[in-house]
Structure 1
């Protein structure tokens, strides 16, 4: 046999031997090691199953307490004189209010200021002003007009901040909350029906109380500020108590 043929056959046999060896090796690995594990990662997204609805309700109640601010502003060439004049007037007003039956704890000083007034050029002090203010609370609403007139008659030249409120709000708040929850439930049922959502139980109720300023009283006979008008007339109106609620439902 020629030499080149013998070399070719030898190369073929070596190649076949290598292939057989690799196959036998792989087979032995599967036999003794077992199947190769297959790893699969799965991720489950949480679904939001909560439905929220909000509503609010108001109740209007008759106020039982009034608050008013009475003040005096004076002018003088000297700061001490401006202060003394303002103090004398406010002390006189306080004494007269006590005579009317206003309790001392319901009369509170809320402002005391002494400040200079300047010329048009802003360089020279021309005078001084003194300002003292009192906040007065009164439960007898029919007497608030007399309180204002008494203060004006004794030197007050500013009346502001007249408002009416409810001292005990709990009952009114409970009523407003119940109405707000009822409205919120009705809204939830309507929206759920229209959108095809099936509601479960109520999971949580949160409430919020928008700041209620009370009712602002109407002050007539404003000409009385000058001391020559008729008696001041007060209309307390009604006070609004408002509650906002948010309900959260589970969805089925």
Structure 2
């Protein structure tokens, strides 16, 4: 049988005492929370902001008898479109290749085996335009130079921080007002905010699909950026007292 000196045993007892006290205090705190009357709510804050940039999807699709001819024609046409973009004031860093494809084309006649008719090559680029006054010009110049697909356009904020802050403040005010309303309606008053969380936030919109376009007329393409809605959602738990 192992024995311990009396001093060591006393030290163990003294060490265990504060731990037990801390656990008891923690349990009491948890129990108090469960005994409290709480209110769980969520609210949304929204602000409108004028966009200052646009993202457009442009492309070139070419069809030819052989794959090599289709790719070569596509490369020439795309090079002309890229030159037009740069001439319209679009920086090279704002032009990004998104997709290059080559697909065989078949004719499907009823009752017949599919017949190879040629190949289609396609090159898609994503273009970021920071000066919205040049957006219509950039699209027109590119299409005039050989781009025959406009796959989508979206507007965005280059720095959404200020709009997000305003939306957060609006969301918190709405949350507090809702908590006060529920408290009054149930004969309570808000004692304190127990927790606060955030969900959602601003996300730059993706280009929306548009119909593939043939060569456009020389007229300027009208552009209306409108306003963007920046939305922040918050949730909170409030303690209520009589």
Please state how far the C-alpha of 1:199 moved relative to its aligned partner. 2.3
Compare CA radii of gyration and give the structure with the larger one: 1
Q: Distance in 1 between matches of 2:93 and 2:193?
A: 46
**Cα deviation 1:143-183 (Å, max 9, x = unaligned):** 00000001110111111221111110111100000001001
Structure 1 partner of 2:92? 104
Match of 1:115 among 88, 93, 103: 103
**Cα deviation 1:194-231 (Å, max 9, x = unaligned):** 122332111111111256454989x9xx9x84333521
CA separation of 1:125 and 1:115: change in aligned 2, threshold 3 A? same
Residue 96 (structure 2) pairs with residue 86 (structure 1): no
Q: Distance in 1 between matches of 2:80 and 2:225?
A: 27
Q: Which runs of 5+ in 1 are unaligned?
A: 1-43
Structure 2 partner of 1:154? 145
Structure 2 partner of 1:241? 230
Please state how far the C-alpha of 1:191 moved relative to its aligned partner. 1.1
The RMSD of aligned alpha carbons is: 2.6
Aligned length: 206
Q: Distance in 2 between matches of 1:99 and 1:174?
A: 37
Structure 1 partner of 2:128? 137
Does the 8 A contact of 1:54 with 1:245 survive in 2? yes
Task: Give the structure, 1 or 2, with the largest relative contact order (CA under 8 Å, sep 6 or more).
Answer: 2
CA separation of 1:246 and 1:45: change in aligned 2, threshold 3 A? closer
Q: Which runs of 5+ in 2 are unaligned?
A: 1-31
Q: With structure 2 as the length reference, what TM-score do the two structures score?
A: 0.77
CA separation of 1:188 and 1:118: change in aligned 2, threshold 3 A? same
Matches within 5 A, 1:130-209: 130-209=121-200
Does the 8 A contact of 2:157 with 2:204 survive in 1? no
Bigger mean CA offset, 192-201 vs 224-233: 224-233
Q: Distance in 1 between matches of 2:33 and 2:100?
A: 64
Does the 8 A contact of 1:215 with 1:238 survive in 2? no
Q: Distance in 1 between matches of 2:70 and 2:179?
A: 63
CA separation of 1:73 and 1:194: change in aligned 2, threshold 3 A? same
Q: With structure 1 as the length reference, what TM-score do the two structures score?
A: 0.74
Please state how far the C-alpha of 1:117 moved relative to its aligned partner. 1.1
CA separation of 1:215 and 1:188: change in aligned 2, threshold 3 A? farther
